[in-house]
Structure 1
Amino acid sequence: MTDELMESRYHVGGMDCASCATKIETAVSRLPGVSTVNTSYTSETLRVQHTSALARSAIERQVKALGYTIASTDKAAAEGEGDEHLELGSGPWWQSKKAKLTIGCGLALAAAYIAGRLIPGIEHWAFLAALAVGLVPVARRAISAAFAGSPFSIEMLMTIAAVGAVVIEATEEAATVVLLFLVGEVLEGVAASRARASIQSLTALVPKTALLEQNGTTTEVAADSLAVGATILVRPGDRMPADGEIIEGESAIDEAPVTGESVPKRKGPGDMVFAGTINADAVLRVRVTAAARDNTIARVVKLVEEAQESKAPTERFIDQFSRYYTPAVLVAGALVAVVPPLLMGGVWSEWIYKGLAVLLIGCPCALVISTPAAIAAGLSAGARRGLLLKGGAVLEGLRKITTVALDKTGTLTEGKPVVTDIVAYDRSEADVLSLAAALETGSSHPLAVAILARAKADKAPVPPAGDAKAVPGKGVSGRVGGKTLFLASAQAAHEQVPLSPEQTAQVTAFNDEGKTVSVLLVDDKVAGLLAIRDEPRADAAAGLAALKEAGITTVMLTGDNKRTAAAIGKSLGIEVRAELLPEDKQRIVRELQGQGRVVAKIGDGINDAPALAAADIGIAMGGGTDVALETADAAILHVRVIDIANMVDLSKSVMGNITQNITLALGLKAVFLVTTVIGITGLWPAILADTGATVLVTLNALRLLGWKGRSAA
């Protein structure tokens, strides 16, 4: 009988670059009973699938031996360890173990320099002592990593170079090199913390408390204690403590902290609000629709952290490359140190010195961090704009898209019908709207909701209606002010009162525009027409234009009728395929792929799930169903068509940044390799080059955190 597999989750402190994550993965995967290991240095997380026979303490010992701190984040195991967990990522950078070691090494080096000037005879021993302060912890980590399956670690290269420098009596330089290496590690940690904070800072947007309304009284409670269905009061100026639906009140909602959009949105009863957004100018009563752990911001943070564990193809290639690259550097350094003295009569001390410098130049820090730093920054920048990407592979793949297939309802359109036109005969348009709204009062039918919303927006009076009742398949009838009313489809109205040629022509014109027409009869006379349609989103035309500008073709795939779809397609300038079943959408995606196109499918409903799964990249509109969100590779949280182009732009920006980083990392190494071999530079410039390249690459990647994309406006 085999042991049952279980998963343990940990928070690991001190992971500052991709090589740290690789070392931990290698070490933990060697433990007996471990199935899979996933690490993310950007979110400082470790997930291990293992048999129940493997004790958690064994995993923790293995990680601690490499010089990292670790604490379980599993609910059951984390009891009593919560304080340690919280402390792992907290506090200013100068309080970290690496910073304290660096400061200690720097002080020791300064003291050695002063002692050497005052008492020249002890200079060598003073610098040797200063070297030991920094090198002993590094060497211990190198040896632990070697025993755990990573013999060619950066720490090992550093240890060999420092010890070799002591052998050839370059002790002062060896101590300086170790200090510069430690400074580089601290800078890596600061940069990694900044990238980490960029996404974690979203959680700070949610207030800690909320005003809970119960039995007519309001009580201040912890926001994370709010249950789904609870009613909360949100005052002007307050942040939303939870995702919810407005049940009373109307206000401008500032979504800039979450979406980046500068223009507040006017919202009222029935509209959804996100945790962390700001209620601008009126008191709102809101029904909570998601618990704290499931609100918009919590889902964003969780998805980004999970995405950072998924490596892009370029990142995987760099990881594989570095496995061969580091041993190759060791061989190159040995050849530089040995071949010239043996075959060309070179001076041993001079060429050993150059060989050690080659080891330092070859440190792969900058190269290894070039890709994951950019990917992490890109994922974080996208999340802050409401673009959720499930991994680096998705982020990298978006730039290759050549065709985008979009659903109509809820994707290109708002997903709810609105009254677009009112035509009145022998009375005012306002009167037609008032009488129609009177009949529809209390109805939840989409067309009724559209009419009532237009009446509210136009401030049209809605008189009480008597004897109001639905006429199955035809419309609704009733009495208002002694007059008999009938609001019906054009066909049902024509059966009761023949429409004039002019009225029939008007109905046909509206139908050709994809609009549904309701005819209002008053005392068996045609009083007016109301045209209703699910209108394109405000940014739909701009979003499609942005895709066209990027050289990407678009096509609408919809289950709606051909006339309505064609009307929307014509107004937006997009090819239309209508009256499709879910399997039809999937088939068309496959056909497009068969033509050599890289297809992204955008949708928000259950009927889009098969096509989303079939596409090269499936993108769910954030207001859609859970099925669509789970099936998709990415999600547009704030349902903006322009954000499809933004995703592509972000992908191109990230991949361009990665190219710059790799060029910078390898370019600097090439320059210093040449200058070292010809004798211009030595040990400390070599490590300074690697440290400098690492810092430059990281800073370049962090520029992506400022990415904003195109505005919906």
Structure 2
Amino acid sequence: MPESLTKEEMKAYRVQGFSCVSCAKTFENNVKKLQGVENAEVNFGASKIYVKGQTTIEELEKAGSFENLKVQDEKEQKVEHEPFWKQKENIKVYISAVLLLASWILGKQLGEEHFLPTIGYAVSILVGGYSLFIKGFRNLIRLQFDMNTLMTIAIIGAAIIGEWVEGATVVILFAISEALERYSMDKARQSIESLMDIAPKEALIRRGNQEISIHVDDVQIGDIMIVKPGQKLAMDGTVIQGMSTLNQAAITGESVPVTKTVEDEVFAGTLNEEGLLEVSVTKRVEDTTLSKIIHLVEAAQAERAPSQAFVDKFAKYYTPAIVILAALIAIIPPLAGSGDWSTWIYQGLAVLVVGCPCALVVSTPVAVVTAIGNAAKNGVLIKGGVYLEETGNLKAIALDKTGTLTKGVPAVTDIVTYARNEDELMIITAAIEKGSQHPLASAIIKKVEAKGLHYNDVFMEEFQSITGKGVKAKINNEVYYVGSPSLFEELHNQIKNNQKEKITDLQTAGKTVMVLGTETEILAFIAVADEIRESSKEVISQLNHLGVDTVMLTGDNQRTAYAIGQQIGVADIEADLLPEDKLTFIKKLRGKHHVAMVGDGVNDAPALAASTVGVAMGGAGTDTALETADIALMSDDLNKLPYTVQLSRKALNIIKQNITFSLGIKAVALLLVVPGWLTLWIAIFADMGATLLVTLNSLRLLRIKKHHVMK
């Protein structure tokens, strides 16, 4: 959504028939001139226009009549696209081609000088190039030189010097080129359109004792939505009854179904696979996670990539330069006596055609739209072409440890007992720790509950917290202590050597050790650690393989951080960091090269903002992640990271290939002027061929899938 307009003051319309960026700009300017319209912005990538003020669809279509654009309210059911070969714009190409062929056959039989073939060619030119000429003449009057202006001059010039066959062929080939461009942009946009169609337009709602099917626009927050097996969810909400597995691929890109039960969050567009669910609606239809994804992807596709800005600036000076060059080629040699006028005017016209910037102008937007659409389908939100290109240039990725490389939930990993039964000691520890708010205490309680032990029945008295070291309490007339090894160093003056060694071993393995004991003896060691995500090691290995330096950032002590970092395989480990230290480190790293920061988007927000590219995990559940990050991984899955880097690199390479190729083929064709070999045929094939090839090259980005990442 355009940033310059706010959601409340604009209306969005879908537009069908955009063939090029300049046509979209012309349409935008036409709409701005309409009565009652205060402002308008076109999003070419999403094929939409946002209008501030009052207007009608009829008025908008009138403003787009130069390109035969069809306009539709965004909320209306999407009209199915006509098949490519049936589209109105393409029918005139068929008629023009038939007239050209018939005129050519007549010319062979009656002779090229006969007036009938000439009339046939003229009619063919008018039918195929009618809309082109109107745009070309308008631009010529305003001294605006774009591809329509160049083609109009070239075709009329060809007719004047008697090259009717080539003039008519140029018209047809240019129309085919535009149709293919339109087709490829539609193909690139299909990723967003498929997202739009994911969620149902109606929901089954229970109000009172009645179950009624109503349009999603009329569903209110707090309504109870009934979702039967095999149905898709129409709204976001919280499960209040039932249990089922949901396929969340549309939102997170993960095809493995997730079990959902009471109090779990569910999203519009996900598929309920087996159970009946009752869901309390928590968001209106325009605020659902799916709607946010669609709006973010559309806004991203409207963002200009740095290479697009270069192309636009280049084309601005390049097109008038081509007109001047063509004029010089047509005038100077005959004036200098190096050939007749018709030969050099023909060469000049061919230069105009070959100089058409079609391929150059389309080289970047098709690649950007395709890549961002593909990423969205795979559960990765890239918020603009600039971030796509920046990710392609990444040299280092810094990852927050807790919650990113690890699960962020401490768990008991080892229990070492020195007296009594293990279960008895765990019950005593849990009974003492249940009053504590410390995360390590919750890990112990979870472990005891998982073992099915009852600790709530234990009578405890004289509970006391020992600041920074642990707690103590009396159970069965005996005082027990639970705390750090340093607490027991103080209590017992010293810990036995074999026990000290055990503590060191556990700490070296990256675990935090808690001790249970009395004033006279140590009863047990309980080691707690934040569990490493199953995917972390594989992801870091893939990133290293892609030549990206990986850095782990953590507030843990050096020993624990080093143990976890070694296990995961990161290249660099930064420990003992406060949140502001993370920010300082990212700024320092950014001074050297392009760096991404990966975090959960909440407490990592400053570091995410300071990095070249901020990547947030688990965007599906948190609005903060969607808002603060440049890229959001919709699932809590790091596997998307190597895929995103590879997709961005591929997109960057394709953009560079497209720009190089579209300029290179023009340069080669222009050099053919020197020996006088450049013909209108070669010119139009060079122009159309380049446009077609850069488009097909860009569409290769649709083939990159998450599992295609190099191992």
The TM-score range, normalised by the shorter chain, is 0.7 to 0.9
Of 114, 124, 133, the residue aligned with 2:118 is 124
Matched, 1:540 2:536: yes
Structure 2 residue aligned with 1:312: 305
Distance 1:359 1:619 in 2: 46
Of 322, 327, 334, the residue aligned with 1:334 is 327
Structure 2 residue aligned with 1:136: 130
Distance 2:20 2:704 in 1: 22
What letter matches 1:551 in structure 2? Answer: G
Distance 1:546 1:707 in 2: 16
What letter matches 1:404 in structure 2? Answer: I
CA contact (8 A) 1:649 1:709 kept: no
Distance 2:28 2:582 in 1: 41
Q: Which aligned pairs between 1:39-54 and structure 2 lie closer than 5 A?
A: 39-47=42-50
Structure 1 residue aligned with 2:100: 109
Structure 1 residue aligned with 2:348: 355
Distance 1:698 1:305 in 2: 20
Distance 1:354 1:396 in 2: 39
* Cα gap change, 1:484 to 1:203, in 2 (>3 Å): farther
Distance 1:272 1:421 in 2: 33
What letter matches 2:567 in structure 1? Answer: S
Residue 699 of structure 1, CA deviation: 1.0
Distance 2:188 2:395 in 1: 31
Q: Which moved more, 1:376-385 or 1:117-126?
A: 117-126
Q: Which aligned pairs between 1:484-523 and structure 2 lie closer than 5 A?
A: 489=483, 501=496, 506=502, 509-511=505-507, 513-516=509-512
Structure 1 residue aligned with 2:171: 178
* Cα gap change, 1:211 to 1:187, in 2 (>3 Å): same
Matched, 1:692 2:685: no
Structure 2 residue aligned with 1:69: 69
Matched, 1:408 2:377: no
Distance 1:284 1:423 in 2: 44
* Cα gap change, 1:337 to 1:544, in 2 (>3 Å): same
Matched, 1:616 2:609: no
Matched, 1:643 2:640: yes
Structure 2 residue aligned with 1:14: 17
SS of aligned partner of 1:376? helix
Structure 1 residue aligned with 2:547: 551
SS of aligned partner of 1:417? strand
Q: Which moved more, 1:160-169 or 1:25-34?
A: 25-34
Distance 1:621 1:338 in 2: 63
* Cα gap change, 1:47 to 1:208, in 2 (>3 Å): closer
SS of aligned partner of 2:133? helix
SS of aligned partner of 2:532? coil
Question: 1:125-177 CA distances to partner (integer Å, 9 max, x unpaired)?
Answer: 12211211122221112234456x67212111111111111111222322221
Q: Which aligned pairs between 1:434-449 and structure 2 lie closer than 5 A?
A: none
* Cα gap change, 1:532 to 1:243, in 2 (>3 Å): farther
SS of aligned partner of 2:370? helix
Distance 2:436 2:258 in 1: 26
Q: Which moved more, 1:669-678 or 1:635-644?
A: 669-678
Distance 2:445 2:675 in 1: 83
SS of aligned partner of 2:660? helix
Structure 1 residue aligned with 2:581: 584
Distance 2:698 2:673 in 1: 28
* Cα gap change, 1:260 to 1:590, in 2 (>3 Å): closer
* Cα gap change, 1:491 to 1:179, in 2 (>3 Å): same
Of 389, 393, 414, the residue aligned with 1:396 is 389
CA contact (8 A) 1:310 1:391 kept: yes
Taking structure 2 as the reference length, what is the TM-score of the superposition?
0.82
* Cα gap change, 1:245 to 1:530, in 2 (>3 Å): farther
What letter matches 2:584 in structure 1? Answer: R
What letter matches 1:183 in structure 2? Answer: I
Distance 2:99 2:175 in 1: 13
Residue 676 of structure 1, CA deviation: 6.0
Matched, 1:193 2:196: no
Matched, 1:343 2:339: no
Taking structure 1 as the reference length, what is the TM-score of the superposition?
0.81
What are the ranges of 5 or more consecutive residues in structure 1 without an aligned counterpart?
Answer: none
Residue 657 of structure 1, CA deviation: 0.6
CA contact (8 A) 1:16 1:41 kept: no
Residue 98 of structure 1, CA deviation: 1.9
* Cα gap change, 1:512 to 1:272, in 2 (>3 Å): farther
SS of aligned partner of 1:601? strand
Distance 2:478 2:291 in 1: 54
Structure 2 residue aligned with 1:99: 90
Distance 2:309 2:428 in 1: 66
SS of aligned partner of 1:620? strand
What letter matches 1:197 in structure 2? Answer: Q
Question: 1:518-557 CA distances to partner (integer Å, 9 max, x unpaired)?
Answer: 67899x9998665433222222222223333333333333
Distance 1:662 1:229 in 2: 52
* Cα gap change, 1:464 to 1:219, in 2 (>3 Å): farther
SS of aligned partner of 2:336? helix
Distance 1:711 1:520 in 2: 50
Question: 1:218-249 CA distances to partner (integer Å, 9 max, x unpaired)?
Answer: 66555565555555455554444444555666
CA contact (8 A) 2:423 2:453 kept: no
Q: Which aligned pairs between 1:1-40 and structure 2 lie closer than 5 A?
A: 9-24=12-27, 38-40=41-43
Of 651, 668, 673, the residue aligned with 2:670 is 673
CA contact (8 A) 2:443 2:528 kept: yes
CA contact (8 A) 2:601 2:608 kept: no
Q: Which moved more, 1:634-643 or 1:180-189?
A: 634-643
Distance 1:334 1:238 in 2: 65
Residue 178 of structure 1, CA deviation: 0.8
Question: 1:298-337 CA distances to partner (integer Å, 9 max, x unpaired)?
Answer: 2222111111121111111111111111112212222222
* Cα gap change, 1:276 to 1:531, in 2 (>3 Å): farther
Of 375, 378, 382, the residue aligned with 1:385 is 378
SS of aligned partner of 2:664? helix
Distance 1:250 1:433 in 2: 33
Structure 2 residue aligned with 1:653: 650
What letter matches 1:587 in structure 2? Answer: T
Residue 491 of structure 1, CA deviation: 7.5
Distance 1:568 1:684 in 2: 65
* Cα gap change, 1:363 to 1:472, in 2 (>3 Å): farther
Identical-pair percentage? 38
* Cα gap change, 1:200 to 1:433, in 2 (>3 Å): farther
Residue 47 of structure 1, CA deviation: 4.3
**Size of the alignment, in residue pairs?**
691
SS of aligned partner of 2:604? helix
Residue 43 of structure 1, CA deviation: 1.0
* Cα gap change, 1:146 to 1:161, in 2 (>3 Å): closer
What letter matches 1:553 in structure 2? Answer: D
CA contact (8 A) 1:257 1:276 kept: yes
